[in-house]
């Protein structure tokens, strides 16, 4: 059943960022309950709603905080320090409100008719099939990895209309979608990323939109909302989710490792690990690695923001490719830092009640995400850097 957010009071984006920090203890306390449920507990959804997380990126005209890219990144990174699974799911629900607000006014009147943020889950490839009929389309298909669907009111499907070359988004009510219980995994358990399916479902025309109007700076929302973020290509935000959540999770692992250095004895020695050269060196290496990842993230966010502020032109394919490379590099560095900590932590972290192993499983699962696929991104960036590719074309969600 979807968890319905209340009509929370309007908050500034700065308040929401501050509120996200206060959620960390509760997220950590509920980590194993989240894994057992294979969804976020109601308390997590309620706390996030009260904190204003879902409204952060909505424009003020829709009751939101009108937050910017840097603030979205900071909130997701902070939530991941509490629980990467929760940060992933809450981050999607937050970002999906931004995506919904980019639709034309007729759709906005339906999504936000209750004066509160909407809850939407979404899927990407492979596209389903759609056929144009009077007043809309008939859609059929089955899609995997629908993160957050257990908390959604809406589901965004991707389908290819007969006779068209570019897929379209189809927005459908959650209760018209069949959810198949397929998310039986070791990491990111609580994201509830089950398969979803529809069969010959009618979708009215005003809830259908070509991808060509999404992966551009000129979406319908850019004409409706004054906030600068609505003049961005949606990929500028969505491609950051994986590396940002991984960074926050790795920072939590480093925090736990620091505490362990003050308690754990070195092997076959009465000396605390933190008092050994090996322990100190390992902690310094992990810290330096995460500082490098953090600096790269900050530079990328600044570069995207400055490029969008410079004028109305689309960001170049070359810049997008370099940003994808940065995302992949941040993900790699965060996993490297996590491994440095793990190798100096002993076997006790793998006890079932130790949350460190939860962070590890989450990060390892995210490390395999398609949007940071090593072979694809490194090959694409290498071709560009070597001048072997005359034209670099982007695909779905930062690819």
3-state secondary structure of 189: helix
Confidence (pLDDT) at 338: 97
Tell me the helices (H) and strands (E) count for the chain, helix number first.
14, 8
- Nearest-CA neighbor of 366 among 147, 215, 94, 194? 147
Whether omega before 120 lies within 30 degrees of 0, making that bond cis, reads no
Mean of the per-residue pLDDT values of the chain: 93
Tell me the pTM: 0.93
Confidence (pLDDT) at 396: 45
Count of beta carbons in the 10 Å neighbourhood of residue 211 = 16
The 8 Å CB, 24+ separation contacts for 16-20 are: 16/51, 16/52, 16/53, 16/55, 16/56, 16/65, 16/67, 16/71, 16/75, 17/67, 17/71, 17/74, 17/75, 17/78, 19/50, 19/51, 19/52, 19/53, 20/51, 20/53, 20/74, 20/75, 20/78, 20/79
Predicted confidence band at 5 (pLDDT cuts at 50, 70, 90)?
low
Predicted confidence band at 398 (pLDDT cuts at 50, 70, 90)?
very low
How confident is the model over 98-124, as a mean pLDDT?
95
Flag the least confident range among 43-57, 93-107, 169-183, 343-357: 343-357
Domains of the chain: 13-118 (1.10.540.10), 120-209 (2.40.110.10), 239-385 (1.20.140.10)
* Rounded Cα gap, residues 247 and 219, in angstroms: 30
Residue 292 has pLDDT above 80, yes or no: yes
Predicted confidence band at 351 (pLDDT cuts at 50, 70, 90)?
confident
Q: Tens digits of per-residue pLDDT, 188-239?
A: 999 999 999 999 999 999 999 999 888 999 999 999 999 999 999 999 999 9
Predicted confidence band at 389 (pLDDT cuts at 50, 70, 90)?
low
């Amino acid at each position: 059943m979807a968890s319905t957010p209340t009509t929370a009071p309007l908050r500034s984006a700065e308040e929401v960022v501050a509120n996200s920090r206060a959620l960390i203890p509760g997220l950590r306390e509920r980590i194993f309950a989240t894994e057992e449920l294979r969804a976020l507990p109601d308390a997590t959804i309620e706390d996030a709603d009260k904190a204003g997380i879902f409204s952060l990126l909505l424009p003020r005209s829709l009751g939101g905080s009108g937050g910017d890219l840097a603030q979205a990144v900071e909130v997701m990174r902070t939530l991941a320090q509490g629980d990467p699974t929760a940060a992933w799911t809450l981050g999607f629900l937050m970002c999906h409100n931004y995506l919904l607000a980019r639709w034309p006014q007729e759709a906005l009147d339906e999504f936000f008719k209750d004066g509160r943020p909407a809850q939407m889950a979404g899927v990407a490839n492979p596209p389903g099939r759609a056929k144009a009929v009077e007043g809309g389309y008939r859609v059929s298909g089955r899609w995997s990895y629908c993160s957050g669907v257990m908390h959604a009111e809406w589901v965004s499907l991707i389908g290819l209309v007969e006779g068209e070359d570019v897929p379209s988004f189809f927005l459908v009510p959650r209760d018209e979608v069949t959810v198949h219980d397929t998310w039986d995994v070791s990491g990111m358990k609580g994201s509830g990323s089950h398969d979803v399916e529809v069969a010959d479902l009618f979708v009215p025309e005003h809830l259908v939109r070509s991808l060509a109007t999404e992966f551009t700076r000129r979406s319908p929302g850019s004409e409706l909302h004054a906030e600068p973020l609505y003049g961005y290509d949606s990929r500028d935000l969505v491609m950051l989710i994986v590396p940002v959540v991984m960074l926050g999770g790795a920072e939590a692992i480093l925090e736990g490792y620091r505490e362990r250095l003050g308690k754990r004895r070195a092997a076959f020695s009465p000396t605390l690990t933190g008092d050994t050269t090996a322990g100190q060196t390992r902690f310094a290496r992990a810290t330096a690695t995460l500082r490098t990842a953090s600096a790269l993230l900050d530079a990328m966010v600044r570069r995207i923001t400055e490029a969008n502020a410079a004028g109305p032109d689309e960001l170049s394919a070359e810049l997008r490719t370099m940003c994808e490379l940065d995302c992949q590099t941040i993900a790699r560095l965060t996993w490297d830092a996590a491994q440095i900590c793990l190798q100096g932590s002993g076997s006790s972290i793998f006890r079932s009640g130790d949350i460190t192993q939860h962070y590890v499983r989450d990060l390892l699962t995210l490390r395999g995400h398609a949007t940071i696929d090593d072979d694809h991104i490194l090959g694409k960036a290498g071709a560009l850097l070597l001048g072997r590719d005359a034209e670099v074309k982007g695909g779905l969600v930062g690819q």
